[in-house]
Structures are given as structure tokens and as C-alpha cells.
Chain A
Amino acid sequence: MKRILLVNGAELIAFILLACIPLAVSNSYVLGLLTLLAIYGILLIGLDVSVGYLGQVNLGHAAFLGLGAYAGGLCVMVFGFSMLPALLASLLVGFVFGGLLAFPALRLEGPQFALATLSFSALTATTLNELESITQGAQGLQVDRPLLFGLHLGPQAFFWLCLVLLAFTWIAMKNLLSSHWGRAFEALRDSPIATDAMGVGVFRHKVAAFALGSGLGGLAGGLYAFNFQFLQPSSFVYELMVILLLGVVLGGRKSLWGAFVGACLIVLLPNLLSNRSLFQAFSFIGLFIALVAGTINIRKQRRISFQVAAPIVSMALLVAGSLLVQNTEDWRKAIFALMLFSVVVGLPEGLMGFAEKQLTRLFKVPARPLPDATELEAVLPKQEDTGLLLELIDVKRHFGGIKAVDGVSMQVQGGHIHGLIGPNGSGKSTLVNVISGLYAPSAGQLRLHGEELPKGSLFKVSQAGIARTFQNLQLFAELSALENVMVACAGAYKKSLPLVLLGFAYAEEKRAQADSLALLELVGLAGDARTKAKDLPYGAQRFLEIARALARKPKLLILDEPAAGLAHPDVLKLNEIVHRIRARGITTILIEHHMSVVNEVCDFVTVLDEGKIIAQGLPDEVKRNPRVIAAYLGDSKESSYSSRKLGETPLLRVEDLHAGYGASEVLTGTSFEVRAGSVVALIGANGAGKTTTMRVLSGMLKPTSGKVLLEGKEVQQLDASKIACLGLAHSPEGRKIFAPLSVEDNLLLGAYTRLPKVFGFRTKASIDLEKVYALFPRLFERRKQAAGTLSGGEQQMLAIGRALMANPKIILLDEPSMGLAPVIVQEVFVIIKKLKEAGITLLLVEQFAKSALEVADYAYVLEHGRIAVEGTPEELAKNERVLAAYLG
């Protein structure tokens, strides 16, 4: 009871108060404002669906208001409808046109979507204006207020009708948002890919949501028509749209209260601003709030940022304006803009977003108790399938000239845990992306239980019974752990949308909760059911993704590098979870770099390299296969090391570096140094943190703690472009050449920091260019060609050449051999040897440990984000731990 009062009390009071005002005040102006407020409330709640919940900037809502208004008006004037049928017609017209617009428009994102909706509203206004025979065009349509159950509504009664409809809308939206629909909206904003992969159907939900929001726009339009009783197409244009949009943002997105407050502001502000003294009072209050918020922020951040200063300045401007300007009416739009500017900058979550945060801090609302978890057997019945489950026949996937998957044929047996391993760039992820429908295969066949699998649609593949996790987590960050699982619950939601709106989905909601709890228990997260996914520790996030995939009750589960970035205890937990999954008889494809995991849990292993299968069999067999070892460590006929005595001065020093991405910490205290004139190799298994180290060194990623010293100077907090100016050149993983620019332009840009910017840069660079061309004659031949058209090997040479152009003190070379054919790899290493002979300081990250050790003067082995072993290449080559780091 207390809960209900706390949660719904404010709403109840607000509605009762609103309903009572006309009884206390008999003022037609106040009544007019209140009526408009209720209408705009409905309108903005509708707009919030697309702007807030879908996260799209919708500039078409004014058109739905207009369509609804004309639909309602014409139904009354032409067909003599009474109030309720006419309003229903308005709603339906908004709904249908919303759906029709959504089909093409919702395939777009961001600015394109905004523009498509903007065009739609312009088109609507034109059409309403031109269809003079129906709409009376610009001359306007006079509308009579229709009867409600035979009664003529006066201004008061009409206001109550609007208020009742607002209350209905409010309740229906609340029901919808607390159902699986609301969760789906949140989910598809956080990760559309995962939403599709969980079988929810991004597009379907988006279209439905947009149509619903538009339907509310239409309903508001009907009320608008019967309120003003006069319609003109020019009322429903861009200008109104901007005001509506700003109302939603100002009030606070993703919140019914926000929409309501937004409606209050846009209805009342224009009228308030026409009174000068009132406006002066408001601007002073605004300045005061901005100042208070600013001081709090400055104390917190200890610096004056744009976000703090801008609202204060704009509010100060407003105060100055309110004192100077005689005619505030004339400046109304500017005033509106200034207020909006401060709110959008200072309180990006809007007024209500800010207020809700403060209120929830003040009033702790006890959460509704969770039901008991269902029996696991009921949620995930044990599957007894042992036959052939998934069959791939000669599957290929090419990206341009790159053959990421090049003719893979494999079979996955029912009930097996099937390992899929291979070095970086070998095509594992692409292969599972093809299986799970993210990419359509370029060629080949995929069969599940002998039936053709849908191609190129995550959603359809998911419906066919395949569920997956993602290498880079794709959780619904804003949802709780329980809700994350509930989104995916297969077959749990059967109630149709109207029933959901009316609040009849409570029972199935409870059941889904109970089922999801069982799955959370399975992965050991039952205690964190209410924690937001983004607040979970990294390991738990990985396990949550597994639980979510299991909620699909899949025939085949794909785990894409579940152990990546996990600490050792979590890896053990993962093994435990995979064992439990196996116990349920669920067939699993497991992509993994941690060979310990593969060894422990897999029944069968397939090894990929360069997009092809190079070995298959039991884990132990595969591990000893020479081709597999070569694929991991590099192929080397004779071992010749050429390490030299190291110089004295450390050019680059790294001290106790910690860094990571979001919740996952990749580097856990790395320390090493590179001395001037030496070649240092950084080796280690995939996921050990090599590339992350490089990214921190060059400034692309800021470390959480630790130091990077370049020639004794701390650089860890500098931007990448500054570090580049200090003489550190980074040839990044994946080469990252400028594909549309010519080869020569790529090289010139390499020397950007040293060259004049407008004239004469070519002459000044000519000597360096010649040097690079001498080293890579093939680049000279292709200097005019767009860099994107080069082969992989040539691109790698270009990337190295580009780094050399900077005349740097040190070059970081990240995985120069990745994705290249063995012959080309040899060539690349010849180049690296030449650089070494030229005395260039190099830090080399390489997965082919053997090749790297051949050219290095000194080497470090990275394991779980720390240096595990270090030494000269000769020492390391004999060290067992090096091999162990790769193959477990």
C-alpha cells in the first residue's frame, strides 16, 4: 500500500488537483490553458515514444497532430460522427500514417531519420493545403464540437474529457512501458543488434512504437480540432514541431512526467513571457538556479567547464535582456532559445530527469518482491539430441578483396560443446556472425537439423533456435540483470498489444520473472537480479549475456569468446557454467582463446586459419598438431636470433599501467621499457593486452592509472595528436590507412607534423618520400592509386612507410603480420630487419612469437595484462611459459 502511494501518489494528486481547478476558478483563460495543457500532454507523451524511448529525433509529430485534427474534424463535419468515434478516427489515422512512415524512415538513424520525418511533415502540410475540395485548404475548416453521448460539452466539460483521456493515455503508457514492450524499447536503444539476436525483432518493435506514438499525436489532434474548432494547414508546420521537440527535451525524455512538464512549459511560457515583470522574475530565478548548480559542479569538477559556464552565461544574458529590452514579446523566441540552451547544456536529462534523480534519492521506494524462481527443468528442459545438429557446407564470406571465411565445411553434433579456435584474424568471429545471421554468407549452405538456415537476419536465425553471446558485450546497459534476461524469454509473452495497454499482462510478466530468475541462478547472479547491467562487474556481465542467450531456449548456443578479459577466478566460474549448460544437453559452439577453457570443456575442436579449417579433432590432438602450433607461433625453419647489446637510455618507459574499456580492466599493472636504438617485442596470447598497451602508449586510450614516460616526460594524459608531435609513430592494428586517399597522400600525412601546411610541402617531403619508396618500390609504382585498392601486404607496407615519414623517435608496430599470407609475412619481417639495421627504435607487438623473437633485441611476454616473463630472445625461446601463454 505504501509502495502504491509512493509510486502513484504524485500522479493521483496532480490529476485530482487539475480536475478541481475549474471548480475553484471560473476563468476562461485558465480553463483554455488547462485544456491545451491536457492536449499537449497527450501529444508530448506520444512524441516521447519516438524521441525518448526509440532515441530518434522525430520532426514529424506535428504532421500527425494535423492529420488527426483534420480526420476528426472531417468525420464530424462530413459524416456527422459523435465525439468518441471521431476521436477514435483521429487516433487510427495517426496510427496508420505513423506506421506507413515508419517503414521507410525507421531504417534510418540520426540525422537521416530527422530529415525523413521533417519531409513528411512538410508534405503533409502541402497536401492538406492543396486538397481544397476536402480540407477547404488555406481558408480553414470550421469544426463543430461533436456531442458526447448526446450531450453538448461546455468548456469545463471538454476540459474534463481531455483530462480523462490524458489519464487514460498515462495509464496505458505505464502499462506498456512496464511490459515486455517497454523493455524491448529500452533494449533496442541500448543494443539493436542484441535485440535482434534475442529474437525480439528491432524493426517490428520500432514500427509499432512509432505508430503508437503517432496515434497519440492523432488523438491529440482530434482534441485540438474540437478545442479550437477551426483548422488551417499552416498550424502544423516545422515551427510547431521544433517547439514540441524542445518541450520533450526540456521536460525530460523517457518520462511521462517529463512529457507533462514539457507540455506545461510550452503552453505556459509564451503566455507568461508577455508579462515583463513576470519574465524578469523568471530570469532572475533562472540565473540563481544556474549559479547554484554551477557552484556545486565547480566544487565537484574543480574546473570551469563549458557545461558549467554556458548555462550561467546564457541566464545572465537573459537577466540583462529582461532589464534592457522594453518589448519582451518581440524577443520571445530568443528568450525561449536561451532557456532551452541552458537546460540542454546544464541538465541534459531534462528538468524531470534531474528532479527524478533528486527525488529517488530522497524517497526510497521499496521494490516489489520477486517471485520464487521456477524449477530449472521447466525453463530449460534437458535436450536428448545426439544426432547431427548444424552443418556448414563450403561457407564463404568475403569483404571486398578480403576472404575472411574461405570455404568452411564443418559439422556440429547435438549435445557437444564444439570449440572453435584459431589465431587473430583467422575468421572465427566472421564465421559465427554468418551462422547467427549478422552477415549473409557470400556462398555456401548452412543447415540446422537438416533445414536451411535463414541468411543474413539475426532475428530470423534467432527464431530458428540459435542464440549467441557477443565478443564485445552487447548488454542492455540501462536494464537490470533480470530484465536483460526477460527481454529474451522465448514464448513467454502472448498477450496482444491492446490487452497489454489495458494492463492485463501482469500474470505472464510474473511468470517471465520467475523463469528468468532460474536462469540467473544457473549463472550465479540471482543475488544481482535488480542491479543494472552496466553496474555489474565485468565477469558478471559476461555471465549475464550467457543467461540471456539461454532464455531463448536455444537448440544451438554460440558463445563468442566468453572468457575474454576475465580474471582467473571468473574463468573457473565460466568453466563451471559451461559444464552446467552441457548438463542440460544444449549444443554449444565456443570460440575461445583461453586454451585452458577449451581443453577443459570442449568435446571437439575446429581450428581455423586464414578463413580455412586447418585441423579438427579432440582438444588434446589438436594441441599437438604442428600446423596449429605454427599458426599460433609463426612458422620458422631455423632459429636465428640477432639480439644486440641494448643501449643505455630508456626512450620509452611504462610504469604500472592500468587500463581497460568500461568495466573490463585489460591492463593490470604493466611495466616495461624500450631503450633507444633497440627493437623490443611484446608478445602474448590474444586478449593478453598487447594492443591495449599500444593504444595507451599512443594516446588513443587514457589509462586509469600508471605512467608512460617518453624521453622522461609523462605523456599518458596527452591527446594522440600531441603524442605524435613528440615523435612517437604508431602503425596501428588493422593498419588503418586512409583508404580513399592516394598512396602518396597517405605518406605525406605521415609527415604531417613536420611539413608546411599549404605550399611547398611536397618539395620538403621529397627526400623522405624517396627513402620510403626506396624501401618499398611497390608503393612507388602505386603512388597515385587510392590506398584502399592495395592488397593487404601493400597496405601494411604503406602503414609502416607512413610511420617512417614522421621521422619518429620510436615506432610502435602493432601486429604487422595479421591477416597476411605467409609469404607476405616473411617480406614484412625482412623490412623490419632493415629498419632494425637502420637503427630505428621499434616496439613490436606480434602474435607470431617466433618471428618476433627473431628480430627483437629484447622481449616481454604479456599475460592477463601484466608482464609474465622477460628476457633476451634466446632465453625466451627456451622458456616453457611462452608456449603455455599461447596454447595453455
Chain B
Amino acid sequence: MEVILQMGVSGALMGLVYALIAYGFQLTFATSKSINFGQGELVMLSAFISLTFTNMGIPYWLMVPAGLLCGALLGLVVERLAVRLALEQKSEGWILMTIILGLFSFSAAENIWGRDDHPFPTPISSDPMHFLGISVTAVELSVAIGVFAVMGMIELFKRKTLWGKAFEAVSADRDAAELMGISARRTIMLSYGLSGMVAAMAGILVSPITTVGPTMASALILKAFAVAVVAGLDSGFGVVLIGLFLGALESLASFYIGSGWREAPGLILLILALAMKPNGVFGKASIRKV
């Protein structure tokens, strides 16, 4: 019993990171129906940049906002270079373009920061704490807190500011939003900026656990995709539930089925969920029109 609980909790905490990255997909999908297939590289780049800040002697609590800002800027770069043209042409070229940009970022990171993994310093202790027979580290808890904080802040922004409401208006009905004087292009830029920020947050939060390296996000990103799609790309907080569930499932699967099969349940779940609910468990169905 204790083991199940321990496995479930550690898995679920990782699941929150998947959920955070998945949330980044949702942000851009809401406004533009596009997502960044190079989001993993964005996580990695932001983590490296934050690490560089730290190495320059910038204290942690200053480094975090600086890292987030850089993440947002990178998000804007993705939008400008890879997404905007394809959206203007109404093609799905953005899928390829974001993959290409990811490939470039990966190679650049390899050459700038080296191919090695680096530890990511954090003032938060990584000593385990024990509750009810399960052990959790403060770093893991900080991940949970950070995930909820950043998602909460963005939700607050969407609900409590007029810019945020404009964001929601564009995702509800782009044409009508334009008629209100809201520029859809700027809103899409905003969504990519936010999405980049979310990626940076994910990088900063998860790096103390996973270490920073060019390949750090490749495993994360596949699961984040799974979470985003299973939950539905327009489901809001659905990603949190699915993220927690998938994380725990993964962890339990690797304990009970075998550690090599760790990823299998998530992937099977993804294919099944898509087959039965193409728009995701929490997604909305669409009506065909002629």
C-alpha cells in the first residue's frame, strides 16, 4: 500500500510537469489552432539560458523572472519564424517549420553549451521529507507549487484583464474579435509568448530534478503531447487531471509491469483516447459544415 502511494505520488508530481508543458500547447492552440512541435527545445533552451544566468552570478529569485522573459521572447521568435507565414497561407506548414526550428535549436544548444548534462542549482533543498510513510523532496513540491502558480497566474490574466479577455475572445471567435478591434495577429503573438514563458517555467522547475542537457526534454515532450491530446487541446484545466493521472499510471506501470514498459500505458491510452474521443476527454466536439 505504502509503495503504491509512494509510486503514485512521485509519478503524479512528474505528471504535473507534463501538464504544464501541455498547457503551453493549449495556449497557442486556442488562438491559432497551431502548436509548437519544438516546444521541448524551448524548455531546454530556457533551462540553459537560466543556467547561464545563474553561472553569471545572478541570484535565483532574479534568475527566474529573467528566464521566464527569455522563454517568452523565444516563443515570439517561434511565432515569427515558424508559424506566422503558414497561418497566413492557411496551411499546416507550421508543423514542419516548428520541427525544423527545434532541430536547429537542439544543434545550437549542443554547440554552445556542450553535449553534457549539467546540474541546475536551486536554493530549494533536495533532501527527502517523509509524510505518512512516503518521501517527497522539497524540489518536487516546488514543482507542484510552481505549476499551479504559473497556470493560476495565466488563468487570472485571462479572466481579470481586458487583454486576457481579448485572448479568450480570439479563441472563441476570431472574426468577431477582429470586429471588436482586437488584432488576432497580436493575440497569437501573445499566446506564443505565454507559451514560451510556460515552457521556460517548466524548464526551471524540472531542471533541478532532471538536470540540464540538450536531450533533457525529449522524453518529457512526448508525454506532454500525450497529456495535451488526451485531455483535449482546448480543455483548460483538463491537462492537470490527465497529467496527474498519466504520471501516476506511468510510475505504477513501471513498478508492476516492468520498468521498460514505463511509457507504454500512456501511449496506448493516447491512441485509445483519440480513437474514442478525437477531441480529447475534456475537449469539445465540432459540427461539420458545408
**Chain A residues with a Cβ under 8 A of chain B:** 55, 57, 101, 103-105, 107-108, 110-112, 114-116, 118-120, 122-123, 126-127, 129-130, 193, 238, 242, 245-246, 249, 306-307, 310, 330-338, 340-341, 344-345, 348, 399, 429, 433, 438, 470-472, 474, 698-700, 719-722, 724-725, 729-730, 732, 736-741, 745, 748-750, 752-753, 755-759, 761, 802, 806
Q: Given contacts A126-B261, A130-B258, are A748 and B274 in contact (CB under 8 A)?
A: no
In the docked arrangement, what's the CA distance between A305 and B150, Å?
A: 36
Q: A700 contacts which chain B residues (CB < 8 A)?
A: 175, 178-179
B176: which of A103, A116, A122, A732 is its contact (CB, 8 Å)?
A732
Task: Judge whether A738 and B92 touch: CB under 8 Å.
Answer: no
Q: B172 contacts which chain A residues (CB < 8 A)?
A: 738-741
Q: Is B73 part of the contact surface with A, judged by Cβ < 8 Å?
A: no
Q: A745 contacts which chain B residues (CB < 8 A)?
A: 165, 168
Q: B180 contacts which chain A residues (CB < 8 A)?
A: 721, 724, 749-750, 752-753, 802, 806
- Pick from B49-57, B62-70, B101-109, B240-248 the stretch touching chain A: B101-109
Query: How far is the CB of A238 from the nearest CB of chain B, in Å?
Result: 7
Dominant secondary structure of chain A at its interface with chain B: helix
What are the interface flags for B150-181 relative to A under an 8 Å C-beta threshold, 1 for contact and 0 otherwise? 00000000000111011011001101111111
Task: Judge whether B100 and A340 touch: CB under 8 Å.
Answer: yes
Q: B110 contacts which chain A residues (CB < 8 A)?
A: 330, 333
Q: Is B97 part of the contact surface with A, judged by Cβ < 8 Å?
A: yes
Chain B contacts with A in 73-112, Cβ cutoff 8 A: 81, 84-85, 89, 91-93, 95-97, 99-101, 103-104, 106-108, 110-111
Q: Is B264 part of the contact surface with A, judged by Cβ < 8 Å?
A: yes
Task: Judge whether B176 and A737 touch: CB under 8 Å.
Answer: yes
- Pick from B12-20, B116-124, B137-145, B265-273 the stretch touching chain A: B265-273
Query: How far is the CB of A568 from the nearest CB of chain B, in Å?
Result: 26
Q: B287 contacts which chain A residues (CB < 8 A)?
A: 399
Task: Judge whether B104 and A341 touch: CB under 8 Å.
Answer: yes
Q: Is B199 part of the contact surface with A, judged by Cβ < 8 Å?
A: no
Q: B125 contacts which chain A residues (CB < 8 A)?
A: none
Q: Given contacts A334-B104, A336-B103, A721-B181, are A114 and B162 in contact (CB under 8 A)?
A: no
In the docked arrangement, what's the CA distance between A753 and B33, Å?
A: 25
In the docked arrangement, what's the CA distance between A576 and B241, Å?
A: 62
Q: Which residue of B lies closest to A803 (CB)?
A: B179
Task: Judge whether B222 and A122 touch: CB under 8 Å.
Answer: yes
Q: Is B192 part of the contact surface with A, judged by Cβ < 8 Å?
A: no
In the docked arrangement, what's the CA distance between A796 and B87, Å?
A: 31
Task: Judge whether B290 and A310 touch: CB under 8 Å.
Answer: no
Q: Is B226 part of the contact surface with A, judged by Cβ < 8 Å?
A: yes
3 A-B pairs with least C-beta separation:
A104-B275, A724-B181, A334-B107
In the docked arrangement, what's the CA distance between A107 and B218, Å?
A: 27
Q: Which residue of A lies closest to B269 (CB)?
A: A119
In the docked arrangement, what's the CA distance between A730 and B183, Å?
A: 15
In the docked arrangement, what's the CA distance between A101 and B287, Å?
A: 25
B168: which of A55, A127, A433, A740 is its contact (CB, 8 Å)?
A740
Task: Judge whether A57 and B271 touch: CB under 8 Å.
Answer: no
In the docked arrangement, what's the CA distance between A344 and B98, Å?
A: 11
In the docked arrangement, what's the CA distance between A246 and B268, Å?
A: 26
Task: Judge whether B92 and A749 touch: CB under 8 Å.
Answer: no
A341: which of B100, B169, B181, B233 is its contact (CB, 8 Å)?
B100
Query: How far is the CB of B105 from the nearest CB of chain A, in Å?
Result: 8
Task: Judge whether B111 and A119 touch: CB under 8 Å.
Answer: no
Query: How far is the CB of B88 from the nearest CB of chain A, in Å?
Result: 9
Q: Given contacts A330-B111, A331-B107, A745-B165, are A107 and B278 in contact (CB under 8 A)?
A: yes
A110: which of B92, B260, B275 is its contact (CB, 8 Å)?
B92
Q: B278 contacts which chain A residues (CB < 8 A)?
A: 107-108, 112
Q: B33 contacts which chain A residues (CB < 8 A)?
A: 110
Task: Judge whether B91 and A112 touch: CB under 8 Å.
Answer: no
B178: which of A245, A721, A757 is its contact (CB, 8 Å)?
A721
Task: Judge whether A115 and B226 touch: CB under 8 Å.
Answer: yes
Task: Judge whether B222 and A193 touch: CB under 8 Å.
Answer: no
Task: Judge whether A472 and B290 touch: CB under 8 Å.
Answer: yes
Q: Given contacts A719-B178, A748-B162, are A119 and B226 in contact (CB under 8 A)?
A: yes
Q: B181 contacts which chain A residues (CB < 8 A)?
A: 721-722, 724-725, 752-753, 806
What are the interface flags for B11-42 relative to A under an 8 Å C-beta threshold, 1 for contact and 0 otherwise? 00000000000000000010001110100000
In the docked arrangement, what's the CA distance between A753 and B92, Å?
A: 32
Task: Judge whether A698 and B260 touch: CB under 8 Å.
Answer: no
Q: Which residue of B lies closest to A108 (CB)?
A: B278
In the docked arrangement, what's the CA distance between A14 and B274, Å?
A: 43
In the docked arrangement, what's the CA distance between A483 and B261, Å?
A: 49
Q: Is B184 part of the contact surface with A, judged by Cβ < 8 Å?
A: yes
Q: B175 contacts which chain A residues (CB < 8 A)?
A: 700, 720, 732, 736
Q: A736 contacts which chain B residues (CB < 8 A)?
A: 173, 175-176, 179
Task: Judge whether A130 and B100 touch: CB under 8 Å.
Answer: no
Q: A57 contacts which chain B residues (CB < 8 A)?
A: 92, 95-96
Question: What are 9 A-B interface contacts by the 8 Å CB criterion?
Answer: A115-B270, A123-B268, A127-B264, A333-B110, A344-B97, A348-B89, A700-B175, A736-B176, A738-B168
Task: Judge whether B91 and A348 touch: CB under 8 Å.
Answer: yes
In the docked arrangement, what's the CA distance between A741 and B164, Å?
A: 11
Q: A110 contacts which chain B residues (CB < 8 A)?
A: 33, 92, 95
Task: Judge whether B95 and A130 touch: CB under 8 Å.
Answer: no
